[in-house]
Each structure stands twice: as structure tokens, then as C-alpha cells.
A and B are shown apart, each in its own frame.
Chain A
């Protein structure tokens, strides 16, 4: 009886050790996630500037893959040159790749995101479109006739 008991314990130990061996390797820091940004309408090789939570997230060539983004809810927008896309709110999940697509329709026509500008008036004051959020802007292009 004693011998049978020892055998049973040995089998149990072996089973536990085998199961431990099957455990996956530790995951990378779990609070990070990956974002893959696709920008529709961007030409190949366009420099895309990423703005994450109103902070400059860096400039990349398309397609943009950001690794090591802290998981959670983020505000994301992209710029090409001086033209911006409207921001999107994105949930980045830990240990996953989250795809985000921006549709780039910047331009000077109705329905487009207006090209950004930052200029000086003839009196030396600055006017910057990015600082006009919440206001309507009327631009009048005119020539001396």
C-alpha cells in the first residue's frame, strides 16, 4: 500500500511539473498596446505627424505603427503637412494591435478640413487657423482692381 502511495505522489508531481513546462513565456509589459494607423488619401512616402492626446507623437512614413502605447482611451489625430484630420477617440487594448483608419480629405473646398495657416497681418499680429477652434473664420482673397 505504501509503495502504491509513493507511486501516486510521483505521478502527481510529474503531472504538475509537465503542466508548468507548458506555461507560456511571460508576456511583455501588459499595460502597453500597439496602434496601426492607416491614412486613406495619403500618398506613399508622405510624412504623417501623429498627435496623441494633444501631444506630438512623432512623424512617420505611411503606414504608421506605434508600439508601446499605454493601454486605455486616447485621442488621436494625424497631420500631413499643415492639414489635419479630425481627431478620433480610440481604445488601445493591452497586448493587442489596434487598427485606426483616418480618411484624409484636407483641402480648400467645401467639406474639406481647411489647410492650416499661421500668418502675420500687415499690422504684425499673428493669425493661426489652429487657434480659431470654436470660432467661424471668413477668408477673403481679393486683388486690387
Chain B
């Protein structure tokens, strides 16, 4: 997740891109520490009831495993989705850049 901060967050303004990190299994205090220790400035959402995980069909019960990255375009359409623990930050940065053209 720090790569998202340093490759993606710093490349776009707040009026171009909204980022949200969504976590179900930890706790709000763990997330707060995680963000501050790694200098992450984009917001975290503690999805304690799992509603977003369910709506976005994220998790092993849906045949995929976090981290799951989803990019939604300016019209609210899903344009990119990947379940990948490997670093795709540069690929995503280029994808977002292209959407904003």
C-alpha cells in the first residue's frame, strides 16, 4: 500500500482522483497506526460489517483474495480490477492518467 501512496497519490490532485483503502479484518486503531507509520495520506475505511466487500465481491468466498484494486472512471463505471499482491502501482498510475486525458 505504500507504493500506492508514493506512485499514485502523489501523481494526481484530489480533484482528479479519490483513493480509499478498505479493510475488514483489522480494526480502526490498527488502520490508524498503519497509515501514520507509513505516511499514507489517503483515507482508510474500516468495513467492519463487510458491506463493501460483499457489494464489490471481494474475498475468498467470491473466488478472489485481497489485495484487490478497483478503478472506477468519471462516470462511475468499473474500468480496472485486479487481485494482485505484486506491485502494479506503475501500471495503475498509467491507467488513471489515461482515464483523465
Contact = CB atoms under 8 A, between A and B. Distances in A.
Interface centre among A107, A114, A123 (most CB of B within 10 A): A114
B18 A112 contact: no
Main secondary structure on chain B at its contact with chain A? Answer: mixed
A115 B73 CA distance: 13
Contacts, number: 153
B20 A121 contact: yes
Given A82-B55, A115-B55, A115-B56, A141 B18 contact: no
Contacts of B94: none
B81 A137 contact: no
Main secondary structure on chain A at its contact with chain B? Answer: loop
A117 to B, nearest CB: 6
A136 B45 contact: no
B92 A108 contact: no
17 contacts: A82-B55, A84-B76, A108-B55, A108-B78, A111-B78, A115-B56, A117-B55, A121-B44, A132-B76, A135-B16, A135-B17, A136-B73, A136-B99, A140-B19, A141-B24, A141-B67, A144-B30
